[in-house]
Amino acid sequence: MAFHELHERLCPTCGHRISATAPKCFNCGAYVNDEDDDGDDEPRGRRPIFMLASAVVAAVIYIAALVYLLNP
């Protein structure tokens, strides 16, 4: 992906090329919501679930290690 493609996107209303950081299209004035576009941001709610899953995996590994050490 080229550099400019990370910083520009097309207005969903009129198709005009606008800055990726612009809150609204300066061509037609439509507000731009970036949640459905470039995929750089994770959807809300995924990260807490990921952290919980990581904690569970870490706990399982920790318990398995304890069991192994206590029962050689």
Say how many C-beta atoms besides its own lie within 10 A of residue 38's C-beta. 12
Q: How near is the Cβ of 58 to Zn ion at its closest, in Å?
A: 47
Residue closer to Zn ion, measured from CB, 7 or 16? 16
- Between 24 and 47, name the residue whose CB sits nearer to Zn ion: 24
Contact at 8 Å (CB) between 34 and 11? no
> Which one, 20 or 30, has the nearer CB to Zn ion?
30
Instruction: Tell me which residues touch Zn ion (CB under 5 A).
Output: 11, 13-14, 16, 25, 27-28, 30
Q: How far is the CB of 8 from Zn ion (least distance, A)?
A: 13
In angstroms, the CA 58 to CA 45 distance is 20
Select from 1, 10, 60, 61 the least CA-distant residue to 32.
10
Which amino acid, 6? Answer: L
- Cβ at position 24, least distance to Zn ion in Å: 8
